[in-house]
Amino acid sequence: MAFDISTAMTWILFLALFPMAFIWLRRAWRIFIKRDYSEVALKRGQTPPHPKKWAPVTGLLNLIVGGIALWIIVGIPLWIATGISIGPFQDFSSWNAIAGSTIWCKIFGDFIISRQAHPAPWTKKKPS
């Protein structure tokens, strides 16, 4: 069997979904169940002035993308082993597109939420 870069990249993407799904679902757990707002709408490592206000949006984003990643993690081996498809897992390009889009939507979603939670100061600061 010859080394194929596309097969290696497929495995890297699939295996990378495991820690990503764990982290995203753990963040949703912390926000919704434990009421820990320390990772809500971070901008440069700092929480916003009112993190409780942005907690539902951040928690929902983490719950959705974590659920999609978990759906892919369960769906791919199930389809390979049994042929039962619980989603669009008939070929590489379909689940790869869903996984990649999920990752990018998470990145953009976190960026947008953090920028909305940390309003930009429009006035100039007076020198002391």
- Residues of the chain with pLDDT > 90, as a percent, come to 40
Greatest mean pLDDT among 1-10, 17-26, 33-42: 17-26
pLDDT at 34: 92
The DSSP code for 44 is T
Residue 3 lies in a domain: no
Section 93-122 average pLDDT: 88
pLDDT at 91: 75
Asked if 103 and 17 touch (Cβ cutoff 8 Å), the reply is no
Residue 22 lies in a domain: yes
- pLDDT exceeds 80 at position 124: no
Residue 2 lies in a domain: no
Residue 39 lies in a domain: yes
Number of domains composing the chain: 1
Structural Rg of the chain based on CA atoms: 19
Give tens-digit pLDDT for 100-113: 999 999 999 999 99
**What is the span of the domain harbouring residue 33?**
8-117
Asked if 102 and 65 touch (Cβ cutoff 8 Å), the reply is yes
- Output the pTM of the full model: 0.83
pLDDT at 59: 93
